[in-house]
Copies of this chain bind each other. A is one copy, B any other.
Amino acid sequence: MANYSLSAIKPGVEMSTRSFSRSIPHPVTLLSVSDGVNENIATMSWVAAVSRKPPLLMVSVSPKRYSHDLMLRAGEFAIIVLTDARKNLATLAGTHSGKESNKWDMEEFKNLKQQAKQVKAPVLKHCGVVLECRLVNHVPSGDHTIMIGEVIHASGKSETPPLILSDHKYFKLGSFLEKYP
């Protein structure tokens, strides 16, 4: 892919710290959360593993997002690591707010909806790996809150590679290079 060019960086010009996040490749995930009364599904890309034992991940969520307070009330959530076939769901969930309507009522989500094993929030089948989490900590950090979840259930039969967000663009995962030692 010789024509990759990070638009945040102009040749010979220093990069703005404002656009630093574009230079880090991130996964594309859907966050599903329900407190038993209200539910939401939202696109989240600032997601990473943070501990092996216990298994913890973090997702950084803006307090402006409908999911933010819902996560704090629910004390649990699910992260669906999307495969590249599912980028349309990320765009759909990322461009509608749960404040206006319940995205779970949309055909695209309703058709793939299934019950999770350990959390109240519904999850999606055939979309990637599902990581069900118990919220164990939350840390306000700048204009977002780092939500830390313990992975209490993991499932998925993924034979399609995960979708990547880099430079605010969707990419497929490319060729295998080698195993990390």
Whether B84 and A20, one on each chain, are in contact in the complex, defined by CB atoms closer than 8 angstroms, is: no
A49-B21, A129-B9, A156-B15 known; A175 vs B172 contact (CB < 8 Å): yes
Interface flags for A3-44 (1: CB within 8 Å of B; 0: not) read 011100101101111111101111101000000000000000
CA distance A151 to B160 in the complex (A): 34
Q: Which of A113-168 contact B (CB under 8 A)?
A: 128-129, 131, 137, 139, 141-144, 146, 148, 151-166, 168
CA distance A6 to B160 in the complex (A): 8
Whether B50 and A162, one on each chain, are in contact in the complex, defined by CB atoms closer than 8 angstroms, is: no
Q: Which residues of B contact A15 (CB under 8 A)?
A: 129, 154-156
Count of chain A residues near B, Cβ 8 A: 83
Q: Which residues of B contact A50 (CB under 8 A)?
A: 46, 58, 60, 141-142, 144, 146
A57 part of interface (Cβ distance < 8 Å)? yes
Pick the contact of A49 from B24, B91, B137, B176 — CB < 8 Å? B24
Interface flags for A55-97 (1: CB within 8 Å of B; 0: not) read 1111010000000000000000000010010010011001100
26 A/B residue pairs, CB under 8 Å, sorted by A: A1-B161, A4-B161, A6-B156, A15-B129, A18-B52, A20-B129, A20-B154, A21-B49, A23-B128, A24-B27, A24-B47, A25-B164, A25-B173, A26-B49, A47-B48, A50-B60, A84-B177, A87-B178, A91-B181, A95-B181, A139-B139, A163-B177, A164-B173, A169-B176, A170-B176, A174-B175
A-side residues, CB < 8 A to B, are 1, 4-6, 9, 11-12, 14-21, 23-27, 29, 46-58, 60, 81, 84, 87, 90-91, 94-95, 128-129, 131, 137, 139, 141-144, 146, 148, 151-166, 168-181
